[in-house]
Amino acid sequence: MIPALRDKVERLQDEMLKLPQAELVTNHYFADGMYAREVYRPAGCLIVGRVHKKEHFYIVTKGRIRVTTDDGVKEFVAPAVLISKPGTKRAVLALEDSVCMTVHRTMKKSLKNVERELVEPEPASPYGLGNKLKEIECHSSLLP
């Protein structure tokens, strides 16, 4: 990824942490050495993902998104398949109600072990195991 773009994605994530976070409907699938994560994103939802350790498929199965890629910000309309390289950190904006899926090679069978193998630890991420929202510090700017 272009270093300047990666810096922008990380700054975007820092600013987004000051806002309420979206609860993402996420489905997990395991089959013969593969793991797939399917995430539903309502129109207007902006997500910054975690850094992945291994190359994998990123598939837009429904809708239209704008996403940071190795070549800059691009728009994709379903069906679309991207290849994510190790070290990739993406920002994804759903321009329409969208569904995106990642597909990974792994022999692991539990989400805890899969995430340990496939994504870098990121304490600042608002999402934890299985894409569930973590309890995060309340920011004073959100208080009435």
Q: Each residue of 27-70: pLDDT tens digit? A: 999 999 999 999 999 999 999 999 999 999 999 999 999 999 88
The number of distinct structural domains making up the chain is: 1
Cβ contact 1:89 at 8 Å: yes
Q: Is 122 exposed, middle or buried (0-12, 13-18, 19+ CB in 10 A)?
A: middle
Parent domain of 78: 3-20+30-120
Residue 1 is predicted with a pLDDT of: 65
Residue 40 lies in a domain: yes
Residue 55 lies in a domain: yes
Per-residue pLDDT at 140 exceeds 50: no
Between 102 and 127, the more confident residue is 102
